[in-house]
Amino acid sequence: MGKQSAPLDGDLQRTYRGRAWRDEEPNRRLLLDTNVEEKAVLIASLNCSAVEEADRLTEMGELLRTAGATVVHRVVQHRERPDPRLYLGKGRLEELSEWVKEHKPNVVVAEGDLAAGQQRHLEDKLNTRVVDRTGIILDIFALHAKSAEGKLQVELAQMEYSYSRQEGLWQHLERLGGGVGTRGPGESQLESDRRMIRERMGVLRKRLQEAAKSRDTMREERMASAVTRVALAGYTNAGKSSLMNALTGAEVDVNDALFETLDATTRAFSQDGVKVLVSDTVGFIRHLPHQLVESFRSTLDEVRDAHLILHVADASEDDDGREARAKAVVEVLDEIGAGEVPHLHVMNKCDLLDIEDLDALRRQYPTAIFTSAISGEGLDELRDRLLATARARWDRVVLEVPYSRGDVISAIYSAGREVTQEAGPEGTLIRALMPPVDAARVRALAARERQ
Ligand SMILES: Nc1nc2c(ncn2[C@@H]2O[C@H](COP(=O)(O)OP(=O)(O)OP(=O)(O)O)[C@@H](O)[C@H]2O)c(=O)[nH]1
Ligand SMILES: [Mg+2]
């Protein structure tokens, strides 16, 4: 490989090498150190409106804050699309390179996704770590993963991310080397890295499948149960967990951070014999890395299997920001197969709006429910709507139960509501509202009796 292999080899050490994940160190942070507040330079190559630009840069700042870094400098370039080789244009990169030399930030972070080659070229030019948006999001997930399954899911997503970048680098080296037969030492290291990652991904997938099996059993029970299931879904930091806690008295962690919640939690609340199960799960973001959607698929089943999705939004966002976020949420819901599930819009954080703004928003979203998990505003209305949804799912059952089957009658009383009974010629004529599953069960029982 001659001269060209030397800088690439250095590259590998910085970004690609030394990540031989071992069992004893799961969920190692991919890119940023946990214990120090890192100084980050944010770079962006954008082709969007000024409003969207401001929103995206703010969001990237929030992501970095959650990951433990502060933005100390920004370089924003407006161009049709990022430079295919260097992400930024040459001139801007030169300027940045000078700045980096002088101020020595810990990391340079791109607002968008970087191809492996772009990342490598930037690291060479700037002589510092370069990370992209997906890398930061994966890092936050690694930081917040708590359950065993959550940790496996994050690790798999991290691996898939690294693997796809190694693939790019590997192809690049292959081109440089001019063919398989001329591979140098750098490449063999790379190959062994790839093999290790592949093997580890296999192990992780298997473990996740095992976890999914027990989940499947739970899922079957869940699907068979008559209880109405409601899932909270929405952009990260909209207040889903806060609403969950306010509605059900759960104690899910709440924090002003992105992706605070990763695991799914389900709690019930009930009133007058009507029960509703509420699930809180991982939040969404625009361009949610595909690897994460894939590895969190089983967690996201909670959303797909729901009878009703509460699409929670932050009412205090400006119109453009709120609409962009709502669109991103709908995209992810479609991607996980939850696009057809009925949903109800919940505008949360209403306490942050003044009366005029709130009125305007109510006119803009006439079917939404306006809540504040902090002041408690709108929570009764939300609860009532959920209970009404649960009631509406109940079947009206009219049956003639043979006099010999007192057990069926007591089953109807225990699972049903508004039960009335009168004596008929061959049995008790009974009317009730029942959850669909129980209705089917007693109907089958009664039919069997008749034969
Ligand atoms: N003012 C106000 N703040 C709220 C309200 N609901 C939640 N928050 C705050 O918003 C932040 C995020 O709340 P969470 O409940 O953690 O949001 P989440 O949607 O579960 O976020 P992720 O799990 O990170 O996706 C926290 O600082 C909450 O205290 C509300 O109604 N009003
Ligand atoms: Mg949460």
Q: Is the CB of 281 under 6 A from ligand 1?
A: no
Cβ–Cβ under 8 Å, residues 18 and 25: no
The token pair at 19 is 């990540």
Q: Is the CB of 235 under 6 A from ligand 1?
A: no
Q: What pLDDT does residue 180 have?
A: 44
Residue nearest to atom 21 of ligand 1 (CA): 237
Q: Is the CB of 382 under 6 A from ligand 1?
A: no
Q: State in Å, rounded, how far the first CA of the chain is from the last one.
A: 84
Q: What is the DSSP letter of 36?
A: S
Sign of the CA dihedral running 54, 55, 60, 61: positive
**Cα 255 to middle of ligand 1, angstroms:** 6
Residues 138-176 pLDDT 10s: 999 998 888 888 889 898 998 888 887 776 665 655 555
Q: Is the CB of 242 under 6 A from ligand 1?
A: yes
**Cα 443 to middle of ligand 2, angstroms:** 41
Judged on CB neighbours under 10 Å (0-12, 13-18, 19+), 242 is buried
CB count, 10 Å around CB of 403?
A: 11
**Cα 92 to middle of ligand 2, angstroms:** 38
Is 303 a residue whose pLDDT tops 90? yes
Q: Which of the four pLDDT bands, split at 50, 70 and 90, describes residue 11? A: very low
- What mean pLDDT comes out for the span 227-252? 94
Q: Which range among 67-76, 87-96, 181-190, 400-409 shows the weakest confidence by mean pLDDT?
A: 181-190
The token pair at 347 is 């505008």
CA dihedral of 401, 406, 412, 413, whole degrees rounded to 10: 130
Give how far Cα 236 sits from Cα of 32, 52, 137, 242, 288, Å.
21, 18, 12, 12, 11
Q: Is the CB of 141 under 6 A from ligand 1?
A: no
Q: Which range among 187-196, 230-239, 375-384, 400-409 shows the weakest confidence by mean pLDDT?
A: 187-196
Testing ligand 1's pocket by substitution, the residue of 242, 253, 300, 357 carrying the most ligand atoms inside 8 A of its CB is: 242
Spell out the domains of the chain, with CATH numbers in brackets. 2-202 (3.40.50.11060), 225-391 (3.40.50.300), 394-450 (3.30.70)
What pTM, to 2 d.p., does this model score?
0.81
Residues 121-136 pLDDT 10s: 999 999 999 999 999 9
Residues 63-103 pLDDT 10s: 999 998 999 999 999 999 999 999 999 999 999 999 999 99
Residue nearest to atom 1 of ligand 1 (CA): 349
